[in-house]
Amino acid sequence: MTPQIDLAQPLRIVHLRQAATPLTVVLGTEVLQRVTRSRVFLGKVLGDDRAVYGSTTGFGALVGYAGRADQADQADNTLAHLGAGQGPDLDPGVVRATMLIRAWSLAQGASGVSPHVIEALAAMLATTFVPAMPRLGSVGASGDLIPLGAAAQALRGRGYAYVDGVRMPAAEALERAGLTRLPLDGRDALALVNGTSLTTAATALALDSVRTSHRVVQMLTCLLADLLGCDPQFLDPRLIGAYAHPGAIEVAAFMRETLRGAVPSGTRALQEPYSIRCAPQLLGAAEGALRYVDGVVEADLGSVSDNPLFFPEDDLVVHGGNFFGQPAAFAGDLLAMVIAQVGNLAERQLDLLVDPHRNGGLPPMLAAGPGQQHGLQGVQLASTALIAEIRRDAMPASMQSLPTNLHNQDVIPLGTQAALRALDQARLLRLICGSLALGLRQAAYVGARTPTAPGCATILDALAEAIPAIDPDRPLDGDVRRAADLVERLSFL
């Protein structure tokens, strides 16, 4: 069944996931009325010879110069110079989520756009059409100008786009998708590009992925503790309550439930390594950070990011900076830190698991026949490379401000970079989770005890059913991905 999204209702992360494939976007009477009212007001303002950025003026640092008199020409004036993006095309799912966010923002009736612009976005989202949007070019200050400019041009039949996953000239893509070229005037063109929709989409999708991996690591930490026979007192509610951090209290409660019924082996040291003993404190701190990002994403999804904004009821055109992506820049950087530390925890847990000096005597690298076989050796090497990649790329983007655009943009947030980087790292984190899950499945095969907690047994049974033991050695790249997919599904049960 095709998902349906009503632009009169709040936008949620689940809607962004749904936008990866064709969906129905509903433009109800309420939306069309407020968009039309704003558009009529724009006509009145222009008729009064009031200055309106992007309709009567040049752009950016050239705002002091008059724009083109003909509004269709003014659309070209807006978009042509933005055709400067570089790098690979962005992932189609991210692009389609971006266009849904742009449609929702414009549908709030504060942008002065023509109703047919939002209708065209809704029509596009009902097909497999995806504008080819370059990754590099946005600084997230006046919105995501260059990537959104490429999307606007694709909707006009210029540049490139995808249909059914195939890249082709945009004019051909429109025809194949049954869409018509989108006519724009100056305000329409500027409203399509002058917002942080790409930054918001990438931040939201990264958050969604990291939240899942965060829960997966909680589950896998419990399974690790049970397989090794650890004493679960590190999750004692009195201990965690004294710690007093809400995130740790919530995480520990979930982990206690997963470990409910676990019986310590009595052979472990009094205190476990920090990668087990301090997991609720570390993952609890991550929970606190993720709650901050939750708030940023919720606000961004409910935000009108554009300039200027139109308020017909007050007879006002207000020029300002609602396209400045600083909140998402901070949120993306915070996500990067969370990803790095949660990924580091999972990688260290895998390292503990393959080490016979710390894993209770299981064979080195969990090899079924050490020397003749190598078990998790390649996977553990790859996991180390993955976390090194994450850590190397964790420099905050939001502190890299550079003046540009003749100092019109004298401070910039670089939220787009922060958001896309977080999304890249989130994909690596899930692979580290898959690597740990694969290691836990193999540990059970080479001699780890049977889980004593029913919740842990359920996780291990699912892994064992889906993934054969490593005996003999085989390429494991696909198994890592399968394990990652499986534990993600389990995290939602």
Looking at the annotation, which residues are catalytic? Answer: 53
Q: How far is CA 210 from the centre of its chain?
A: 8
| The two three-digit tokens of residue 340, written as one number | 């790095």
Mutual angle of helices 326-354 and 377-392, in 10-degree steps? 160
> In angstroms, how far apart are the furthest CA atoms of the chain?
84
CA gap 130, 418 in Å, rounded = 23
SS3 content of the chain, % helix, strand, coil (to 5): 60, 5, 35
Angle, alpha carbons 453-456-462 (nearest 5°): 140
Q: Where are the beta strands (DSSP E) in 345-478?
A: none
- Contact between residue 345 and residue 217 where contact means Cβ atoms under 8 Å apart: yes
The Cβ of residue 488 has, within 10 Å, a number of other Cβ atoms equal to 18
Counting every residue written for the chain, the total comes to 493
| Of the candidates 321, 318, 301, 315, the residue with the CA atom closest to the CA atom of residue 107 | 301
Q: Is 350 exposed, middle or buried (0-12, 13-18, 19+ CB in 10 A)?
A: buried
Cα end-to-end distance, the chain, whole Å: 22
| Of the candidates 182, 168, 82, the residue with the CA atom closest to the CA atom of residue 132 | 168
| Of the candidates 474, 439, 445, 493, the residue with the CA atom closest to the CA atom of residue 221 | 439
Question: Which element (helix H / strand E) includes 426?
Answer: helix 415-445
Q: How far is CA 81 from the centre of its chain?
A: 29
